[in-house]
Each structure stands twice: as structure tokens, then as C-alpha cells.
Amino acid sequence: MVLLEIFALLAILVLVFLLKLIFSWWISPIQRNHKLQTCGFQGPTPNFPFGNIQEMKKKNSVDSSSGSSKLTHDIHSTVFPYFSRWQNSYGKVFIYWLGAEPFLYIADPEFLKKMSTEVIAKRWGKPNVFRNDREPMFGKGLVMAEGSEWVHHRHVIAPLFSPLNLKAMVSIMVDSTKQMIDRWITQIDSGNPEMDVEREIVATAGEIIAKTSCGMKDENARKIGEKLHTLQMKLFKTTRYVGVPYIKCIEMKKTLETKKLGKEIDKLLLYVIETRKESKVKQQGREDLLDLLLQENQVDGKYGKILTTKQLVDECKTFFIGGHETTALAISWTLMLLAMHKDWQNQLRDEIREVVGDKDVDINVLAGLKKMKWVMNEALRLYPTAPNVQRQSREDIKLDNLTIPNGTNMWIDVVAMHHDSSLWGENVNEFRPERFMDDVNGGCNQKMGYLPFGFGGRMCVGRNLSFMEYKIVLTLLLSRFSFNISPNYIHSPCIMLSLRPAYGLPLIVQPL
């Protein structure tokens, strides 16, 4: 009798489990899709359990024959061939599926504007499928946090970017860049003027963020940087089966490898955190990320809530990833553009001579580099290093006579909007920094058509740091060297989380 009862209980549990599975992988996505379809959105036909991934995968893996020596900035159909194709059939807002999850693709700034006026930052979520998939990289750090937790973390972190704190980071940025310059000079003197500028600058920016945010020493910073890079390559080298039910169990080897790497990174960061806790030494003249986070790790945290040590680790990881590659790639793409457009390379050099001259680089001096800011804006327009922004609605969103249902995943295609001639005019694919001379929006006819740092309250928290780093690194490099495209450069922008050159960025670097 007892045995029978146990069996009955087990059977009920299995049934409940199966019903839950069917609901989350089948019924709920179909319901959301149906509601989106009743709004009038269409899209390519999905197949269970892959959705549209197989069609996306066909063209997206970085294969060594896909590079091109033709240097065009018209990159949307290269980096997102499937979106470019589907746009032709279904317009600028359509539905596509990642595994068993429908996504609303958005490349229409007008539509986005209406939505962002309806939803405040605190009520936006991030797609659950990505939070799960990217857990080893970001954990529950600011990029992935939601609701009141997001508000708390954002409040804690924002002061890191105060003018006083930024000012104190200048010398770290200058020192790390000078060390890179010394390495370059040694290499040039040895007869090799070809530099993989992307690799060099990403490494230097990694060092800068490790030192400015966590006061890490070189060895730890290098180890964490290498491990995060390996993790990123494993996770993002090709379009994966994100959203496919139980894919982590099916791709068990990869899951275990990424989990292991994630844990190793956590361990290294934990060591850095514990050492700082014990030493109780503040960074000279400023508060770094760890100081701010540690204040919240105490019983009487400034905002009344305690951040756990795991949350501290996640924030450090988030900063390391979010904070170095995007800026480094913005500098790298800029050097590629300046190597192509010598007139602008010379104009920036003249501006540096006039504004900086023999003065020490500091935050006030940097503010005078106006043309450099236009160039940065234009480089991030043509090559937005964060190529998309994601959201998930946490409530129904009412727009005119449409209702975007609660739980809708959204993929905002920044590359598409930045290369849309109906927003920018016929010269959309030309490098013309002067479009930003009198207009912070570069003359785009829609306010939300230019989104290099995202939008609304969730806009990039580190953008002022990246402006400063960009200007410092470029000022020091352009004052010392001239840049030309190497014959070995293959122009093949691709997405590996960030928008990067698939085969590095070899440039010929000559001392001035």
C-alpha cells in the first residue's frame, strides 16, 4: 500500500514536471508568438526545437575564406546576413525564434521610441535565455540585473564615474598606454612595423580596467583577462543553440568547460576582493569599484541593503568584460578609419598639437578635443562595438492600438539602424565625422536611430570613462605614430559579443 502511494506521488511529480516543461517550452512561447502575430508582426517560419537558428548558423560562423580585401563600411549584410535578408521580406520589426523562444527584432527607431516612453528602466528585463546562457561571464552583475536589484546596483556603481574619480584614473591610463608605446617602439626598431593593433589595445584596455576598477596587479589582471577571453571565445565564436530546450545538457562538454572557466575566474576575483578587505587600503585619492562595492558588503551598507560576496564577484566580472573590449575596439576601428582617411588623421594630430601641446593630459584638457569626439561618434556609428541591445518586457506594453505581451524578448539591431539610409541619407556608409559637428545625433532624422551606448535609464553606465580612455589613448598614439593599412589586413567585421575584426587589425605603424 505504502509502495503504491510512493509510486502515485512520483507519478504526480513527474506529471507536474512534464506539464511545467510543456508550458515553458511550448505553450507560453506559442501564446506570446500568437499575441505578437495579432499585432501584425510576421517572420520566418521556425522549426521546433531550433527555431530559426539553423538558418542563422549557415552564414554566421567565422570561416577563414569569408574575409574580403574590399574595404566597405556597408557592413550590416556581412555581420547579420540573416537579419538583413529577413528585413527585406518582413520589414524593420519582425518575429524570429532562438530555439523555443520568440524574439521581436527591432530596427525601427520610431517604434523603439514609443516603447521606451511607455516603460521605465526599472521595469525592463533582460531576456532570460541570455541571462542563463551568459551566466559564467556576467553572473547577476549590472548588465543582467533587473528590478529593485538593478536600481540598487546602479546606485552603488554610478559614483565610480564621478569627475573626481575619473580624474584620478588618468595617470593609470597614461602609464599603461606608454608601456604599450614602448613595446611598439622596440618592435619597430627590430625592423617589424606591422602591429596587430586590436590585440595590443584590447590587452592594454584590459589592464586599465583591472587597475582602475579593482586596483589589480599586473599578474592577476593578465590571468583574469586571458581566462575571460577564452570564455568569450568558447561562448560566442559561432551562433549557438541559445534557447533550445536542454541545450546545456546536450552540449555537456562545452557547458562543463565554460562552468569551470567561470569558477576559476570567480576564484581569482574572490582572492582580489578578500585581499582588499583584509588590507583595508583605499586607492589613493579616489574610490574604485571595489571600495564602493565593499561599502555595500557591510551590515550598514549606504543603501540599506547588503551585497553578497558573490554579487561583488559578478560586478567585477561585468566591469572587466563590459569595460575594456568595447572601448578598445572603438579605438581599434578608429585607427583603421584614420589609416584609410589620412586627412582626418592629420586633422586630429593638428588638434592635439593645438589643444594639448606640451601640457599634461588631464580631464579638462581632453574636453577641448572636439574633432576627436566627432571621430569617436562616427567610428561608433559605422562600427558600433556593442552591436545590439536586448530587453525582455516584464509587463504588457500598450502602444497606440497594439499590445506587446509580457515576456516578449527584444533584439534591437544597432548596426542596422546606424547603416539605414532612410535615417542618415545617401552617404550613410561614408566616414564623415563632420556630421557630428553641430548635432550630437549626427544628423540622424530619428532621435533613437543612434544608440552606441543603448537607451533610457539602462544606458551604458561607463560611457564617460570610455570617452576619457579613448581620448587619452588616441592622443598619445597619434602624437607618436602615423598609421597605414597593412596589405595583410582582411576586412571582415564579425560579432563575437562585440563587433570586432575577425582576423585582427594589422596596421603599419611608423614613428613620427
In the annotated binding site, the residues are 460
Nearer to ligand HEM, 55 or 288 (CB): 288
Candidates 110-118, 422-430, 434-442, 456-464; binding stretch for ligand HEM (CB under 6 A): 456-464
The SS3 assignment for 192 reads coil
Closest contact distance (angstroms) between CB of 325 and ligand HEM is: 9
The length of the chain in residues reads 512
Interface with ligand HEM, residue 450, by CB under 6 A: no
CA neighbor of 394 nearest in space, from 126, 113, 36, 34: 126
Interface with ligand HEM, residue 466, by CB under 6 A: yes
CA neighbor of 463 nearest in space, from 321, 327, 372: 327
Interface with ligand HEM, residue 452, by CB under 6 A: yes
CA gap 210, 434 in Å, rounded: 34
Q: What angle do CA 301, 303, 305 make, to 5 degrees?
A: 65
The 194-196 sheet, strands edge to edge: 194-196, 506-511, 481-485
Closest contact distance (angstroms) between CB of 491 and ligand HEM is: 20
SS3 per-residue string spanning 458-488: HCCCCHHHHHHHHHHHHHHHHHHEEEEECCC
Interface with ligand HEM, residue 454, by CB under 6 A: yes
Nearer to ligand HEM, 100 or 444 (CB): 444
Annotated binding site for heme: 460
The SS3 assignment for 293 reads helix
397-399 and 402-404 beta bridge pairing: antiparallel
Whole-angstrom Cα Rg for the chain: 24
Closest contact distance (angstroms) between CB of 395 and ligand HEM is: 18
Interface with ligand HEM, residue 165, by CB under 6 A: no
Interface with ligand HEM, residue 465, by CB under 6 A: yes
CA gap 306, 333 in Å, rounded: 40
Candidates 6-14, 105-113, 269-277, 324-332; binding stretch for ligand HEM (CB under 6 A): 324-332
Q: Which of 176, 326, 392, 393 binds ligand HEM (CB under 6 A)?
A: 326
Counting residues that bind ligand HEM (by CB under 6 A) gives: 26
Nearer to ligand HEM, 46 or 323 (CB): 323
Candidates 51-59, 184-192, 280-288, 321-329; binding stretch for ligand HEM (CB under 6 A): 321-329
Q: How far is CA 229 from CA 58, 167, 262, 265, 325, in A?
A: 25, 28, 11, 11, 10
Interface with ligand HEM, residue 330, by CB under 6 A: yes
Phi, psi of 461 (to 5 degrees): -75, -20
Candidates 257-265, 341-349, 362-370, 460-468; binding stretch for ligand HEM (CB under 6 A): 460-468
Q: Which of 459, 488, 510, 511 binds ligand HEM (CB under 6 A)?
A: 459
Closest contact distance (angstroms) between CB of 158 and ligand HEM is: 9
Q: Which of 41, 411, 436, 455 binds ligand HEM (CB under 6 A)?
A: 455
Q: What character string, x for contact with ligand HEM (CB under 6 A) and - otherwise, covers 132-151?
A: ----------xx--------
Closest contact distance (angstroms) between CB of 195 and ligand HEM is: 21
A 10 A CB-CB count for 65 gives: 4
Interface with ligand HEM in residues 346-405 (CB under 6 A): 385-386, 389
Interface with ligand HEM, residue 154, by CB under 6 A: yes
Nearer to ligand HEM, 130 or 481 (CB): 130
Q: Which of 177, 327, 332, 486 binds ligand HEM (CB under 6 A)?
A: 327
A 10 A CB-CB count for 499 gives: 24
Nearer to ligand HEM, 113 or 154 (CB): 154
Nearer to ligand HEM, 326 or 492 (CB): 326
Q: How far is CA 23 from CA 26, 27, 32, in A?
A: 5, 5, 12
A 10 A CB-CB count for 147 gives: 12
Q: By the 8 A CB rule, do 341 and 431 touch?
A: yes
Q: Which of 369, 461, 494, 505 binds ligand HEM (CB under 6 A)?
A: 461
Q: By the 8 A CB rule, do 289 and 214 touch?
A: yes
Interface with ligand HEM, residue 323, by CB under 6 A: yes
Interface with ligand HEM in residues 200-239 (CB under 6 A): 209
β-partners of residue 101 are 98
CA gap 357, 365 in Å, rounded: 10
CA gap 20, 105 in Å, rounded: 27
371 Cβ contact list (under 8 Å, min separation 6): 347, 348, 351, 433
Interface with ligand HEM, residue 322, by CB under 6 A: yes
Closest contact distance (angstroms) between CB of 22 and ligand HEM is: 32
Q: Which of 119, 261, 460, 497 binds ligand HEM (CB under 6 A)?
A: 460
Helix (H) or strand (E) holding 490: none
Closest contact distance (angstroms) between CB of 400 and ligand HEM is: 23
Nearer to ligand HEM, 66 or 128 (CB): 128
Residues that bind ligand HEM (CB under 6 A): 142-143, 154, 209, 318-319, 322-323, 326-327, 330, 385-386, 389, 452-455, 458-463, 465-466
